[in-house]
Amino acid sequence: MDASQLLKGVLDVAVLAVVRDADGYGYDVVRRLRNAGLEDVGDASVYGTLRRLYQAGALTSYVVPSDEGPHRKYYAINDRGRSVLEDSTKTWRTFVDTVDGVLGRTVAA
């Protein structure tokens, strides 16, 4: 099974969950996703997801100056993002339960 295809379907909810816990800039979000077990997540995919979620109104952003290089754009979840995360989490859990049921019947058959 190609895990990258599964990741594409859940990257929005994973990014929202990561920034729910703490605001983050692009590479920080990538690092936290990888540390959480999504080792194959691509930098460009996460940056694109952050921009898309921001444009959709699910995230806010702010810039923090850096003494060690360019300023960093941080992303934070807002009320709309929390609502999207809650709805997406319910959808994901229902999907997982359904697939688990199908797989359980397949193995038992």
Domain boundaries, the chain: 3-103
The CA-to-CA distance between both ends of the chain, in Å, stands at 21
What are 72-105's pLDDT values in tens digits? 999 999 999 999 999 999 999 999 899 989 988 7
Q: Between 7 and 83, whose confidence is greater?
A: 83
pLDDT band at 8 (very low <50, low <70, confident <90, very high): confident
3-103 topology per CATH: Arc Repressor Mutant, subunit A (1.10.10)
pLDDT of 109 higher than 60:
no
Cβ burial of 6 (10 Å; 0-12, 13-18, 19+) is exposed
- CA 85 vs. chain centroid, Å, equals 9
How much is the pTM? Answer: 0.86
Distance (Å, rounded) from C-alpha 77 to C-alpha 17?
Answer: 9
Distance (Å, rounded) from C-alpha 74 to C-alpha 24?
Answer: 5
